[in-house]
Structure 1
């Protein structure tokens, strides 16, 4: 087992100042570099010409230092509209993306060429009031607007307080604002990132996603046109796309090196994943924070219609309606209506609609260095998004690092962590970040600990069995198969009105089954993706199935570590619904959300099974029955140290 290293203070400082830089590709124009130092080239002084001033970044301890002005009045601001190759609103003209550039005065006066920190968002112009789908109905049905379509489980989205809007302004604790787009260059659509990166020599670009603010085109909740729109900004920064100012004059980005790093939270972090999956030249690094890697896994789970936490009943059409803030409120109506139809809230099946929004399909094209950041308790964008994206990047040898914290949605790495990443991959300064430990995890006591990789390499899938309880009491979660006894069928009666936390806490309940380990004599760490394999039958043709992994403290109080869901009709494939025949047993294999969690000594580890999950699934009328064959059902947990570690702690 590899030992973690707790993060310590900085080492003794060492400083480096680069010479004046030039735009990438200058050699092709006959401007051969006279020297290269730390990946930043300097042009020779022509014979008889005055020497150009030496202006460039300063690096200390592998990080760009704030040696340029932090006075916003010293910076240059530009407003541009970048032409894309798509016409998603069908008006016969290519869509244009509205963007604002903030750069240093030295890019005009001293020949500085800056790399770019770039955030694109559909939230800068606020959001529209929307109503979520009703989830209180039978399975295999969907209520349409006008037939009980209402928001159960949340109020109308308020642009002033909505979590999604807040995510657009908190990426780097940068004192950002996200004022609604107005006429003319002010107010700025956002000032996030500027105070962090301008003084360190970077430029900052903020852009509004298609269909929002001053951009045209249509919002499609992760559709291909949104990816192309965001990618076009990088094309412009590298001379491959055209941009225009408010007067229609063409604007060139002559002030940049062409190296771009994308960063953002939630939707703003999802777009970097999308753009990186195109393999666009010039995108050198991304920092997706609480970001989606497949939109199916945001609104569905193993065939079940499952909500993002806190947004019960939301779907792609609702989110598109929320961010549809461009001035023309009619041109995209048919596009949003098509989203409502194609998303399929009836079966929950994976389809071509979702495949278009699955960035995992093109992860092989990613070459940008990826610093993934995610909250271990994020139930809005669940941890599966970070885990599957990160695992695929590892497998393909893409430069990668992951930051996992104890919070929920959002939560950026520190400025120092970001600085090392951008310094290495945007400035090209070889600070050795690629040799650092790959995982930075905030532990339960809030200390930051570095690990060689994530999941922990010493974690091994450990199969545990379910032994039934007696007289309605909880059963046993055990590594001893002999404790299961004779075959027993246990029953769950669905009641969607009862929340998962209530059922996990209950000493007995007909609405759930619970299985607990013994009191642990030592801590047990989980690192990775838990899975369950259940042998179940049903009293009706459709039912929800929910599994919880639970930490029970010394007083028996339950803390839900993670959870997962499945539609039994999708038992063979998430793309195909097959009817359930009542009374026929089926094998259900499904995953819970990945986690990294330490169950403390003196606690008990538990698995709780229920049907509908009030906060996440469709909520049918109570009464559906589910039957579990305990002797043919197992739980697979990623335990550090494997079966031996569990046996030692559960002895």
Structure 2
């Protein structure tokens, strides 16, 4: 049974020790008069007709839109928050440009609001930049300039463009309220989230990441300075940092409860992960959508230089140049040049540069409740980013939930899902969201299914063996070890001009090896991270290795479900390149991108192995030969129900 309660936030634990607002408005004007107590909140208790403190109305565990939705009733103010870093080396602490939108009641009636906060390097647009050339031999340094794709030009995959996400309303309301005019002296940074959260009593803050727009500092593509810059806004909202208006007058956030929830998509969702990894007090919840948890895994994979889908040849220096939109176009030149050197596109090794950009290192500091959202078909920010972050949070007992959908890059949970999350952790209302099923997965038919957890606890790692085909035709993928047969070596001839989809569809090809299961007698669900263990040798000292997991329908048409890559020179460690000795067999163990997928009855599960991947890897000249020992190679799939779920069609 639903109930409606007007509540005022309890005491806020913050460095500023701010007191909950006590100004009043007439209850009769809102038609509200209640007298009860809710755990964690003080509920208004007053005689009929008496004035009551201003606060949110909570119904069915969600804050209701009872405040004005009229943009003219909102207060907008512009501030520059001082940070403790000087990333542009000008002798002054960098300042982050931010814009606050809050209810008039925070000024006239003592309302204290929690904050929905998004920070982005994209609000000021971007520069036309050239990507690195990818058509060259492995282990070679090639200067940027060829750039067959750039962020300012034609996109290979328009859905992968983070700028679209940065401009859209991440709350899922169908886009930003672009018609909202600024009431302050400067152009509006963004209006996303405002129409959803202001009427529910929240304030909204948008900020420009360091080096972009009107912020100081330099963009460093996930560097420590960007994290500190974004964190400083949370500190300001809790009275621990200073901010100034355009005239230099200090501005406080006395209207804030100090409780902050960060949300955003792509880079805008990555910064919440980064800030949460500092353990900053006051950050109570984050919603990272298509977000990065380790920048190495965005631009590299197991030692291989691998593109973000849709941006072949991009790297940290290219992205930094794209978002470098502050007025001073020279002060950050040396910083971006250093990115180009330190990122190491030659070996692809993990190093101190990447370690600084690995938020997994500090996941133990995260206390904010995390609602992860990711597209199962996002090949820009790949699913490993969400899966490894979520798994680490789960292992540490951090409040967590995951939303996985069938789309690509971007895709927010519904407003109701977000509202329950923010109401629980920002208004501190005990709505029981932490007891809900932890996983919300959109299935292939677009229905939403709730699962207790993700990956599905019933998924069991199922080892499958490879039995060779004949004459280049597909071999057999089977859980039966007795079908492996005598030792056989099969060969792949690298041809980077061939697309993975073409090779997966081909009945025969010298440029790939394919293995298919028997037709399934019942649907089989994969939930988690597939892995391959390959025994391979090479005729050259360097090569790409790519693995695809494929769904073959009854007609033999291939659908690539997920894929993974490795550099055999990094077979022992992603931090160390060791040359390959031609003719010597090596063990290569690597993951494919995590997924959740149901293989329909009558379909076949397939694994396709190739060398270079046209859309993702460096593309050397064709001709390298890779030799696979099928009897010593396996594929492991996390199948719900285990091997028994892969019974062949009779």
In which range does the TM-score fall when normalised by the shorter chain?
Answer: over 0.9
For 2:594 and 2:330, the matched residues in 1 are separated by 41
Query: 1:430 Cα shift?
Result: 0.4
For 2:349 and 2:15, the matched residues in 1 are separated by 50
State the partner residue of 2:645. Answer: 645
For 2:593 and 2:287, the matched residues in 1 are separated by 21
Q: Evaluate the alpha carbon distance shift between residue 205 and residue 28 of structure 1 in structure 2; reply closer, same or farther with a 3 A threshold.
A: closer
State the partner residue of 1:71. Answer: 70
Alignment of 1:185-584 (within 5 A): 185-584=185-584
Query: 1:440 Cα shift?
Result: 0.2
For 1:331 and 1:177, the matched residues in 2 are separated by 34
State the partner residue of 2:148. Answer: 152
Q: Deviations over 1:237-288 (max 9, x none)?
A: 0000000000000000000100000000000000000000000000000000
Query: 1:308 Cα shift?
Result: 0.2
State the partner residue of 1:8. Answer: none
State the partner residue of 2:28. Answer: none
Query: 1:32 Cα shift?
Result: 12
Asked if 1 retains the 8 angstrom alpha-carbon contact of 2:220 and 2:226, the reply is yes
List 4+ stretches of structure 1 deviating above 3 A: 19-38, 40-45, 153-159, 181-186
State the partner residue of 1:7. Answer: none
Alignment of 1:595-606 (within 5 A): 595-606=595-606
Asked if 2 retains the 8 angstrom alpha-carbon contact of 1:13 and 1:61, the reply is yes
For 2:5 and 2:482, the matched residues in 1 are separated by 65
Q: CA RMSD in A?
A: 2.4
Q: Evaluate the alpha carbon distance shift between residue 78 and residue 326 of structure 1 in structure 2; reply closer, same or farther with a 3 A threshold.
A: same
Residue 163, structure 1, aligned to residue 157, structure 2: no
Asked if 1 retains the 8 angstrom alpha-carbon contact of 2:7 and 2:44, the reply is no
Query: 1:22 Cα shift?
Result: 5.9
For 2:16 and 2:546, the matched residues in 1 are separated by 60
Query: 1:566 Cα shift?
Result: 0.2
Asked if 2 retains the 8 angstrom alpha-carbon contact of 1:22 and 1:41, the reply is no
Q: Deviations over 1:188-236 (max 9, x none)?
A: 0100000000000000000000000000100000000000000000000
For 1:608 and 1:79, the matched residues in 2 are separated by 54
For 1:30 and 1:639, the matched residues in 2 are separated by 53
Q: Evaluate the alpha carbon distance shift between residue 226 and residue 20 of structure 1 in structure 2; reply closer, same or farther with a 3 A threshold.
A: closer
Query: 1:169 Cα shift?
Result: 2.2
Q: Evaluate the alpha carbon distance shift between residue 494 and residue 481 of structure 1 in structure 2; reply closer, same or farther with a 3 A threshold.
A: same
Q: Evaluate the alpha carbon distance shift between residue 540 and residue 19 of structure 1 in structure 2; reply closer, same or farther with a 3 A threshold.
A: closer
Asked if 2 retains the 8 angstrom alpha-carbon contact of 1:298 and 1:381, the reply is yes
For 1:31 and 1:127, the matched residues in 2 are separated by 41
For 2:20 and 2:134, the matched residues in 1 are separated by 63
Asked if 2 retains the 8 angstrom alpha-carbon contact of 1:128 and 1:158, the reply is no
Q: Evaluate the alpha carbon distance shift between residue 558 and residue 183 of structure 1 in structure 2; reply closer, same or farther with a 3 A threshold.
A: same
Q: Deviations over 1:407-428 (max 9, x none)?
A: 0000000000000000000000
Task: Identify the range of structure 1 (265-274 vs 481-490) with the bigger mean alpha-carbon deviation.
Answer: 481-490
For 1:547 and 1:480, the matched residues in 2 are separated by 21
Secondary structure of 1:18's aligned partner: strand
Asked if 1 retains the 8 angstrom alpha-carbon contact of 2:544 and 2:566, the reply is yes
Secondary structure of 2:186's aligned partner: coil
For 2:189 and 2:177, the matched residues in 1 are separated by 8
Q: Evaluate the alpha carbon distance shift between residue 183 and residue 16 of structure 1 in structure 2; reply closer, same or farther with a 3 A threshold.
A: closer
For 1:229 and 1:26, the matched residues in 2 are separated by 19
State the partner residue of 1:9. Answer: none
Q: What's the TM-score once normalised by structure 2's chain length?
A: 0.93
Q: Deviations over 1:432-457 (max 9, x none)?
A: 00000000000000000000000000
Asked if 2 retains the 8 angstrom alpha-carbon contact of 1:466 and 1:630, the reply is yes
Query: 1:144 Cα shift?
Result: 1.2
State the partner residue of 1:172. Answer: 171
For 2:385 and 2:369, the matched residues in 1 are separated by 17
Query: 1:54 Cα shift?
Result: 2.4
Task: Identify the range of structure 1 (25-34 vs 57-66) with the bigger mean alpha-carbon deviation.
Answer: 25-34
Asked if 2 retains the 8 angstrom alpha-carbon contact of 1:127 and 1:158, the reply is no
Q: Evaluate the alpha carbon distance shift between residue 182 and residue 169 of structure 1 in structure 2; reply closer, same or farther with a 3 A threshold.
A: same
For 1:26 and 1:346, the matched residues in 2 are separated by 47
Q: Evaluate the alpha carbon distance shift between residue 27 and residue 613 of structure 1 in structure 2; reply closer, same or farther with a 3 A threshold.
A: closer
Residue 87, structure 1, aligned to residue 76, structure 2: no
Q: Evaluate the alpha carbon distance shift between residue 641 and residue 44 of structure 1 in structure 2; reply closer, same or farther with a 3 A threshold.
A: closer
Q: Evaluate the alpha carbon distance shift between residue 28 and residue 253 of structure 1 in structure 2; reply closer, same or farther with a 3 A threshold.
A: closer
For 1:559 and 1:638, the matched residues in 2 are separated by 18
Query: 1:187 Cα shift?
Result: 2.1
For 2:523 and 2:20, the matched residues in 1 are separated by 62
State the partner residue of 2:26. Answer: none
State the partner residue of 2:30. Answer: none
Q: Evaluate the alpha carbon distance shift between residue 32 and residue 244 of structure 1 in structure 2; reply closer, same or farther with a 3 A threshold.
A: closer
Asked if 2 retains the 8 angstrom alpha-carbon contact of 1:114 and 1:202, the reply is yes
Secondary structure of 2:272's aligned partner: helix
Query: 1:44 Cα shift?
Result: 11
Q: Evaluate the alpha carbon distance shift between residue 21 and residue 109 of structure 1 in structure 2; reply closer, same or farther with a 3 A threshold.
A: farther
Query: 1:156 Cα shift?
Result: 3.8
For 1:134 and 1:595, the matched residues in 2 are separated by 30
Q: Evaluate the alpha carbon distance shift between residue 22 and residue 516 of structure 1 in structure 2; reply closer, same or farther with a 3 A threshold.
A: same
Q: What's the TM-score once normalised by structure 1's chain length?
A: 0.93
Query: 1:176 Cα shift?
Result: 1.2
Asked if 1 retains the 8 angstrom alpha-carbon contact of 2:21 and 2:111, the reply is no
Query: 1:534 Cα shift?
Result: 0.1
Q: Deviations over 1:72-111 (max 9, x none)?
A: 1000000000000000000000000000000000001111
Residue 104, structure 1, aligned to residue 103, structure 2: yes
State the partner residue of 2:607. Answer: 607
Asked if 2 retains the 8 angstrom alpha-carbon contact of 1:169 and 1:178, the reply is no
Asked if 2 retains the 8 angstrom alpha-carbon contact of 1:464 and 1:635, the reply is yes
Q: Deviations over 1:471-507 (max 9, x none)?
A: 2211000011111111000000000000000000000
Asked if 2 retains the 8 angstrom alpha-carbon contact of 1:31 and 1:43, the reply is no
